Amino acid sequence: MARDSILGYAVLGLLHQEERSGYDLRKIFANTPMGTFSDSPGAIYPALRRLEEQGFVRGQLQASSGRRRRVFRPTASGKRAFRTWQTKAITADDIMHRVDDLMLRFAFMDETASPAQAVRFLRDLARGLRRHMPSLRQFLQANARRMPLSGRLALEKGVRDYEELLRWSRRALAKYTKKKGGRRT
């Protein structure tokens, strides 16, 4: 529950979809756009062990013949911990420093929480972004003039990324509210 790595949550989320082995997870991290995470055995297997020690996943040996293979599933407690992490309030700090975590939290929303929670998340995100952006724009306006071109362009890109994220959250919200009538939080 407490001080977990994002990798741990990524793993826990993936295990909600279907039971998987460490090797399965490695392949996912190696071959898909989820590959922002490490596919190295030195990251995955210790992460699985930690999750198991915390009681968030349970591993089970498959096929006693030859090739041993342990597949993992989340426990009830693991599901609870994931959902708690995923649906907790979005802080200013999340927006400034952990946008990637936010996207991971959202990516699994329909599977491990609910469309209603997805809507709540998107509204929360949009609100956080609207609060954050004025100070960013202000910094840009105050400093852009005396910055060299490369620095200015990099900074503008940073601001633009947040604007894009806000636009994305609005489009996403529209898809949820149009498609389904689901409104209860």
d(CA 73, CA 52): 10
Nearest to 161 by CA among 178, 177, 140: 140
Find the binder of DNA among 46, 79, 123, 147 (CB under 7 A).
46
Least gap, CB of 135 to DNA (angstroms): 17
- Non-local (6+) Cβ contacts of 143 within 8 A are 155
* Closer residue to DNA in complex, CB, 3/145: 3
Establish if 34 lies at the interface with DNA (CB under 7 A).
Answer: no
Residue numbers 83-122 binding a copy of itself by CB under 8 A? 96-97, 103-104, 106-111, 115, 118
Task: Choose the stretch contacting a copy of itself; rule: CB under 8 A; options: 4-12, 18-26, 62-70, 171-179.
Answer: 171-179
On whether the CB atoms of residues 19 and 41 are closer than 8 A, the answer is no
Instruction: Give the CA count within 13 Å in the CB-facing half-sphere of 49.
Output: 6
Q: Beta-carbon neighbour count of residue 39 at 10 Å?
A: 16
Subset of residues 22 to 61 that bind a copy of itself, contact rule: CB under 8 A:
32-33, 35-36
Q: Is 181 in the site for a copy of itself (CB under 8 A)?
A: no
Which of DNA, a copy of itself, none does residue 48 bind (CB under 5 to 8 Å by kind)?
DNA
Stretch of 3-11, 49-57, 61-69, 142-150 contacting a copy of itself, by CB under 8 A:
142-150
- Whichever of 85 and 108 has its CB closer to a copy of itself, that residue is 108
Structure tokens at 79: 């599901």
Name the packing angle between helices 115-143 and 99-107 (round to 10°): 160
What lies within 8 Å, CB to CB, of 15 at 6+ separation is 57, 72, 73, 74, 78
- Contact residues: a copy of itself, CB under 8 A: 32-33, 35-36, 96-97, 103-104, 106-111, 115, 118, 136, 139, 148-151, 153-155, 157-161, 164-165, 168, 172, 175-176, 179
